[in-house]
Amino acid sequence: MYKSIQLLDKTFRLYIEAAEIDRAVSRLAREINRDMEGARPLFLVVLNGAFMFASDLLKEVTVEGTTVIFTRLASYAGTASTGEIKELIGLTGEVAGRNVVIVEDIVDTGRSIAHLLEMLKARGARQVKVAALFYKPDALEREVTIDYAGIALKNDFVVGRGLDYDDLGRNLPDLYTLAP
Ligand code: IMP
Ligand code: MG
């Protein structure tokens, strides 16, 4: 574990250690296992950032009939949200009639989740829940309910655990924040 790291022009310092994140992931898996029994849940993983969370979470999901599909959205350039959501890969499976759980790395402004909720309802999902490893309460612009909420963060840019700065830092197991 590094105390601080350099990515391109920016220095990041250790914010949340992997062990604490692992505990949050396990708690979310337990909540999902409790709620989704019998629901044959369909997990929609939002690439790229959610790949690591999804991998860790789904290993601990034990509900029968679990299936996993993917989509890829992009809204960030550098360290700021552009406010525009681009769909780079559409849904890789059918959601009609399914109990969907969106798997997101982080809910920041909430625009991506709001966009997905609307799209999934339009495509006939029976129920849509949201699982997010991290969320920034002070950045939220939309009213979105996070049904399975991991760790609340202060409103600063972070990298690690799937989250990137211009594609760097995604593979770090710990979470880092921009040094002041
Ligand atoms: P939202 O639509 O503003 O909620 O942002 C959602 C997406 O922006 C997330 O799924 C991330 O991929 C990205 N994002 C938000 N905050 C950060 C951050 O602090 N670091 C890296 N990516 C972020
Ligand atoms: Mg994301």
Confidence of residue 82 (pLDDT cuts 50, 70, 90): confident
pLDDT at 81: 85
49 lines ligand 1 (CB under 6 A): yes
Whole-number pLDDT of residue 11: 97
pLDDT over 90 (residue 55)? yes
CA of 35 from ligand 2 middle (Å) equals 24
Q: Tokens 């760097």 identify what position?
A: 168
CB 50 within 8 A of CB 73: no
With vertex at residue 42, the alpha carbon angle to CA 141 and CA 106, rounded to the nearest 5 degrees, is 30
Residue 137 carries which DSSP code?
G
User: Measured in Å, how far apart are the chain's first and last C-alpha atoms?
Assistant: 20
Residue ranges of domains in the chain: 19-153
Q: Tell me which residues have their CB within 5 A of the ion that is ligand 2.
A: 49, 105
Q: What is the pLDDT of residue 36?
A: 98
Q: Residues 128-153: pLDDT tens digits?
A: 999 999 999 999 998 999 999 999 99
Task: Give the pair of three-digit tokens for residue 152.
Answer: 């609340």
Residue 74 pLDDT greater than 90, yes or no = no
Q: Which of 7, 15, 75 to mutate to test the pocket of ligand 1 (most atoms within 8 A of CB)?
A: 75
DSSP category for residue 177 = E
Q: Are 39 and 63 in contact (CB under 8 A)?
A: yes
Mean pLDDT, to the nearest integer, of 158-169? 97
Q: What is the mean pLDDT of the chain?
A: 96
3-state secondary structure of 121: helix
pLDDT bracket for residue 167 (50, 70, 90): very high
- 139-146 LR contacts (CB < 8 Å, sep 24+): 139/108, 139/109, 140/107, 140/108, 140/109, 140/110, 141/109, 141/110, 141/111, 142/109, 142/110, 142/111, 142/113, 142/114, 143/110, 144/107, 144/110, 144/113, 144/114, 144/117, 146/107
Integer angstrom CA distances of residue 133 from 28, 124, 149 = 8, 26, 6
Q: How far is the CA of 177 from the centre of ligand 1 (A)?
A: 13
Phi, psi of 107, rounded to the nearest 5 degrees: -105, 115
Enumerate the active-site residues: 108
CATH code given to domain 19-153: 3.40.50.2020
Residue 180 pLDDT > 80: no
* Ligand 1 close to Cβ of residue 177 (< 6 A): no
Query: Mean pLDDT across the stretch 64-92?
Result: 90
Edge-first strand order for the sheet with 127-135 is: 80-89, 67-77, 42-47, 99-107, 127-135, 148-152
- Residue 114 CA: which ligand 1 atom is closest? 2
Name the percent of the chain lying above pLDDT 70: 100
DSSP label at residue 61: -
How far does the centroid of ligand 1 lie from the alpha carbon of residue 64, in Å? 31
